[in-house]
Structure 1
């Protein structure tokens, strides 16, 4: 497996993304904006279609569309705070509609489909460079602004009182989420990347007892699910995004069952 260049590139890119995505996911889930990832993953397809039609890198098209969509959602949410979910639904519907139209004009149906569910053979050296740069940025922001992100996750108003520049931090996270989702569409797939944002974090929240534990466990699970998914997709000729998501679901079920059995045993022991 490792003798092939495309597999080495896929594994390295997948490893970096499997750390980046949970780091962003922890913030989005705690901020109760996890649906932002779902909306961006779907609207990124419009950028992919634009790239395929106009002849430039579809990932760059996805990045542009995701950034515009992310800040459009935030703008609508601020304008109509009582209808937060409406903003996500409006932008996602617009992006999906545009993607559906553009897909009819995109050359090569297989190329467009590879961005829907991911492809381990399509990762280039330039993709690795781009993912590495964004990964460093995500790691840097997550470490430097760890305290601010923790405060925002607990309570936005308390974060403001504590002196956290909430607007700036939220803008940075929105920007990073848009880029991360767009870059993940090549391996994970645009339709499935939102699952990798939520599932490792959701699994971690079941057993973690602090924000730090949730973040670390989400990263570990993200790496485990992604690496296993890529390897399984190679050996069984499956879509990597589907394999990664199924791994995540199975992992979550195992954790839920384990916790239930453990607490049932403790209850019997204490009684």
Structure 2
């Protein structure tokens, strides 16, 4: 049985690293269940897991990963990870929502925030959900409207603020407001659809990567089946050729007159 480890809103912690190495003593793989804020950027989650643990992700489906310890893993040579018996204090970050948005006046900023609260909801986020497709959804939403509103009712304030920061960096976009448990983002004055298309190509979503991997597996399976059919056909042809040669020899021997 593969042991389970949960990766939540705090991301990869010291205690989680220690749990992974403890499970690797008894099994080669660990199933990591990713939920909450970190799933907005699953590529970063996978990269951090492999870098910090020294393992290898051999399977990924949605928010579930299989982390393999490696063939030459030795429990006694594992890194020493100190236990954290308390949660460290959160660092002080600069203010996310400014009084005026860059490039706009105070009045234009107020009007945009009012307009954003009345914009149609793009999606509603569930608590401790899986948000891997959120970035691509926001990019697609900007093709139809300059403002996108995401409903975050029921989520802790720190969670949807972290999600807003990730969207600002990954989409990219401009944060407008977090009022009334809503994430309102603006695509900006210099928005260009061609730039969004390039971002889609340069940074594909996790769902696109998973679908591409599935298509590659299907292509490999079909190519293997075609190769098997070709080999089978070649064997049949050689057998037919051999049989034809034998029949020609038999027929030639029958045509030779008897000396007696």
Greater share of residues in helix: 1
Quick check: which has more Rg, 1 or 2?
A: 2
Of the two structures, which has the highest relative contact order with CA contacts closer than 8 Å and spacing of 6 or more? 1
Give the TM-score normalised by the residue count of structure 1. Answer: 0.28
Greater share of residues in strand: 2
Give the TM-score normalised by the residue count of structure 2. Answer: 0.29
